[in-house]
Amino acid sequence: MTPEDLAGLIDLSILRPDATKKDIEELLRKAMQFPFASVCVPPSYVEFAGMFLAGRKMNISTVVGFPMGYQTTHTKVTEAKEAVEKGAGEVDMVMNISAFKSGETAAVEEDIKAVVSAVPRTVVKVIIETCYLTYQEKVYAVDTVVRAGAHFVKTSTGFGPGGATVDDVKLLKETAGGRIKIKAAGGIRNLDAALEMIEAGADRIGTSVGAEVVEDFQKKEELF
């Protein structure tokens, strides 16, 4: 794997509620250093990111129903459509965790399916927030997301009580059985953690320190 290959597995993200416009600009500048899979910014900054990166081949992603997931389906669909209209090529939506844990899996599936259908040419990643789910719920969640037609199942928002774990990534990968891709996010702060997630089966990594991760990989590669 080359540094460019590693960058291609990373969504360079900034979703902190206290992130300023200057913070967003700094992340966008870092995004120019390597061919990241995408740069993920808050919905209100999608259009700004598009203008800032004008002329560059950089995919912009954003979030929908973030971070709790209990917005109405209409709200999520509206968010997704607006994000795509503003220039987003991918959306990471939070499933309705409350409904899911209440056993309303059919409603959760329809919620996801509505977003997928609303933006048919857009990659949709569904955050199931694994820290709130039991082992069996994680398995059911993957199956629900697959049936809804999304492209990725994602571990975490990064705002729950726990983030991605190697065990969860392995479980999601095994359950998916090649039917859907896996994104690990939440608490991935360094190169070793990123590589562990990839080795466990993650097809995509979400982290705010993606540039530093790739730089560290580059340095390690140069030593050998």
The catalytically annotated residue of 125, 138, 154, 173 is 154
CATH value at residue 67: 3.20.20.70
Q: Please, is 41 exposed, middle or buried when counting C-beta atoms within 10 Å of its C-beta (0-12, 13-18, 19+)?
A: buried
Catalytic residue flag (residue 21): no
Asked whether residue 3 carries a pLDDT value surpassing 70, the answer given is yes
The catalytically annotated residue of 125, 181, 183, 203 is 183
Average confidence (pLDDT) over 209-214: 97
Catalytic residue flag (residue 183): yes
What pLDDT is attached to residue 57?
Answer: 87
Q: What angle do CA 30, 127, 157 make, to 5 degrees?
A: 55
Q: Which amino acid is residue 72, in one-letter code?
A: T
- Where in the sequence is the domain holding 127, given as residue range(s)? 3-223
What pLDDT is attached to residue 188?
Answer: 98
* Span 71-83, pLDDT tens digits: 999 999 999 999 9
The catalytically annotated residue of 11, 30, 76, 92 is 92
Domain count, the chain: 1
Between CA 134 and CA 94 the distance in angstroms is 17
